[in-house]
Amino acid sequence: MRFHIPKKIAHFIGPTFGLIVLVVVIYILQKQIKHLTIAAIFEHITSIPTHVLLLALLLDLCAYLVLCGYDLLGMKYIRFKLPWYKTAFASILSYIFSNNIGMSLVGASAMRLRFYPTWGIKTFSIFQLVIFTSVSMWLGIFTISSLAFIFKPIDLPPDIDIPFRAIRPIGFILITIVIIYMLLCYYYRRTIRLPGKILFKLPKLRIAILQPLVGMIDYTLAASVLYTLLPTHDNVNFPLILTIFLISQISGMISHVPGGLGVFDAICFLMLSQFYDANVALGSIILFRIFYFLIPLIIGAFVLVIYELANITLRPPPASSP
């Protein structure tokens, strides 16, 4: 017996929501961008003190180190012992590239399939690991979002013409999903079918409890990078920015756009513009993109090239035929 998620819901909710969000934000941004000037945006970016930029880089580093937790926990799930530094190396590179190219399952699988087989992990186990880490990521963002939406609810911008304004009910829905998952891991402990006809064997409860914790820390640190790059404001604190970040992040992830590019930025811009000048809001988002996506991508690409060149150099020459 298997637990099935309805196919119609799995096939239509994500793409439909992403399309609606994209159309709405494009329409709204047409009215907002007239207040933007490149000079003002550049002025804000260059006015940020060096120590603030260094703090953002430090938080960025911590955020990517925490990503190792997904794979370290995943190794326990597939019951494979691998040195932590190898797991960390493959994990960080996987997330660097999947964060930038989108298609998280495809991007994450490709990079892990490059490294893990050479260290003795079978292909089937790698795909199990990828599914587990993806589920962990969603559990993490659902859990932290539910707490943020329930305890720090904010109204969506009035420009966004949708049937609801309050997000607190969404928080209760998300935490209910997490609780149901935990109950399934405790009582059901079998294979369920995820969206996309993906089969996933539920982990033991002690592993399941740790899954959302990694994601909660991950998204909290990512939001803290954005918060650091924003100027101080009497009506703005970290819980508020965390809520804005999570709303934007979920919208970007559901839209299936690489890195949430455009959707994340538009939603975040609209919500930050309620508190900051439009040029300041967009300048901070651009900096966040540079710090959280572009810089890690450049470093990751450099490390990957060095790794491949080292493998070619150290590889023993083929034995000559007699």
Long-range contacts of residues 44-53, Cβ cutoff 8 Å, at least 24 apart? 44/231, 44/279, 44/280, 44/283, 44/284, 45/283, 45/286, 45/287, 48/229, 48/287, 52/228, 52/229
Q: For residues 35 and 216, what is the distance between their CA atoms, to the nearest angstrom?
A: 35
Evaluate whether residue 193 is within a structural domain. yes
Tens digit of each residue's pLDDT (9 = 90 or more) over 33-89: 666 778 888 888 888 999 999 999 999 999 999 999 999 999 999 999 999 999 999
Stated as kind and residue range, the H or E segment containing 86 is: helix 84-101
**Residue listed under structure tokens 């970290």:** 238
User: Residue 263's Cα: distance from chain center in Å?
Assistant: 14
Tens digit of each residue's pLDDT (9 = 90 or more) over 270-301: 889 888 888 888 899 999 999 999 899 999 99
Q: For residues 142 and 262, what is the distance between their CA atoms, to the nearest angstrom?
A: 22
Evaluate whether residue 169 is within a structural domain. yes
pLDDT exceeding 90 applies to what percent of the chain? 45
Q: What is the pTM of this model?
A: 0.83
Evaluate whether residue 318 is within a structural domain. no
Evaluate whether residue 288 is within a structural domain. yes
Evaluate whether residue 151 is within a structural domain. yes
Evaluate whether residue 320 is within a structural domain. no
Tokens of 190: 């079998």
Looking at the structure of the chain, the number of domains it has is 1
Domain enclosing residue 132, as ranges: 3-312
Tokens of 269: 């811009």
Evaluate whether residue 137 is within a structural domain. yes
Evaluate whether residue 267 is within a structural domain. yes
Identify the residue with better confidence: 4 or 261: 261
